[in-house]
Amino acid sequence: MTIMQQENKRKFWQMPWGYPESITITAGIAYVGFVLQMAISDFNFYLLTSPVNLIVGALIVSLCLLTLTIRKSKFLKWFTSIPFSVCLIIALLILTLIMGLTPQTGTAPADRNFFTMLGFHNMTGSWPFILIYFTTLLSLGSLIVRRLAKFNIKDYGFYLNHLGLWLVLFAGGLGHADMERYIMHVREGEVEWRVYDDEGTVKELPIAIQLNDFDMEEYPPKLTIIDRTTGEPQPLSAPDYYQIDTKAPTGKLDGWELEMNEYIHQAVRNSDSTYREMPMPGSTPAAHITMTNPSTGETLTGWVCGGNRAQLYKSLELSEKYTVVMTVAEPKRFMSDIEVYTPDGTTKSAILEVNHPLRIKGWTIYQYGYDNAAGRLSSYSSMELVYDPWIVPVYIGFVMIAIGAIAMIVRGRSPNRKTLLTDNQREE
């Protein structure tokens, strides 16, 4: 290195700051986070419940807007610079990478070790994550304010992506504490307004749900050979299953050849142990099969049925040790015919099913579950009730990012980006 170069070289901490300072400061923020984590344990996100989050939010927005007054400062240029953004992105990457490798148990496990003291088991509630999150909100927010101050319509991709992301981070994070989620179990024919939170505490809601009917459709089940004493499907190393399919009525199970002669999806048992079709809540799938052992030529024919609370199962015995059984049918659809009441007299009725929730008065009601052991015969239906007042800004953010992403796909790395490049180089 020549003397000239040495003289021109910027010293550490001498403005304008670049990567060395950005890395140091980002690491410093994370370090403070880890120290806080060890000293006072998890950040309690529910401290941010309304109106605290509104105040914090207003503070963040004002801080970002206030940077307009120091537009020319070298500090602000660094704070909104690419090196600092890259460092924050990498910091988020590392923290979430740790999160992806550590089971997120939420509460600290009984055996406290170094990693749990650093908050790895509950990353989103740990201080390093929170501090990096708030720094990102401030840095990204200030950058958006700075760029909006010299608005140029050609930069629409930049505005959409950055403002959209900021909105999602802002509303998603700060709004988290205001979100309410409860589970309600309603018995058929009854009205319910008591719900359970995730700790099992009972609460009464200003919403009542009446369950008129719970119904379920099932896929055809599978057939397999099990050991009659242990119940283990055979062969033990890699069990064979035959998926019932009337278009493919043959299969192989543990060396036996299977042929399905008849399949009834909703069957009831006759007095002579045969089955007939009868669509009703207590019906069960039943298959009439022929099993052939190719090595011995032995052939067995009979009915196999999965059974439920209303009907006994039926298996086809192959030997003293093995028997053919039907698996529990997998649900295809399950739905609740409900009526929802609110105190002001609004009522709504709907068929609730997975992927088709019902919205009423700021609440969203989801089909959640049923009595798994009873299956179709479940006498109750479980629903999840979600109240999420910050969803609107998040979705606005989603729309903005989506348009920005489409712009990225259509334009690729556009020449417009290069003006940004020269702009930033000028600032360096």
Partner 1 sequence: MNWDTFIWFALPAMILWACAGIVVYRKKSKVLADILMITGISIYTLFIIGFWINIERPPLRTMGETRLWYSFFLAVIGYVTYRRWKYPWLLSFSALVASVFICINLFKPEIHSKNLMPALQSIWFIPHVTSYILSYAMFGAATVGAFVQLRKINRKGLSDKKIFDLLDNLVYVGFGFLVLGMLMGCVWAKEAWGHYWSWDPKETWAFVTSMAYLAYIHLRLQGKKYEKTALWLLPVALILLLVTWIGVNYLPSAQGSIHVY
Positions touching partner 1 (CB under 8 A) are 82, 85-86, 89-90, 92-93, 96-97, 99-104, 124, 172, 179, 181, 219, 222, 243, 245, 330-334, 353-357, 364, 366, 384, 386, 388, 391, 394, 398, 401-402, 404-409, 411-413, 417, 420-421, 424-425
Beta carbon nearer to partner 1, 103 or 279: 103
Nearest residue (CB) to partner 1, 68 versus 421: 421
Q: Of 317 and 423, which CB lies nearer to partner 1 in the complex structure?
A: 423
Q: How far is the CB of 346 from partner 1 (least distance, A)?
A: 21
Report in angstroms how near the CB of residue 396 gets to partner 1 at its nearest. 12
Provide the minimum distance between the beta carbon of 136 and partner 1 in the complex, in angstroms, as a whole number. Answer: 11
Q: Which is nearer to partner 1, 58 or 248 (CB)?
A: 248
The position carrying tokens 């543990």 is 254
Closest approach of Cβ 161 to partner 1, in Å?
Answer: 8
Output the smallest distance, CB 18 to partner 1, in A.
Answer: 9
Nearer to partner 1, 181 or 309 (CB): 181
Which residue, 103 or 297, has its beta carbon nearer to partner 1?
A: 103
Q: Report in angstroms how near the CB of residue 103 gets to partner 1 at its nearest.
A: 5
Q: Name the minimum Å distance from CB 134 to partner 1.
A: 17
Q: Rank residues 209 and 268 by Cβ distance to partner 1 and give the closer one.
A: 209
Q: How far is the CB of 59 from partner 1 (least distance, A)?
A: 24
> Is the torsion defined by CA of 148, 151, 152, 156 positive or negative?
positive
| Segment 238-245 long-range contacts (CB within 8 Å, at least 24 positions apart) | 241/327, 244/220, 244/285, 244/287, 245/220
Q: Which is nearer to partner 1, 276 or 361 (CB)?
A: 361
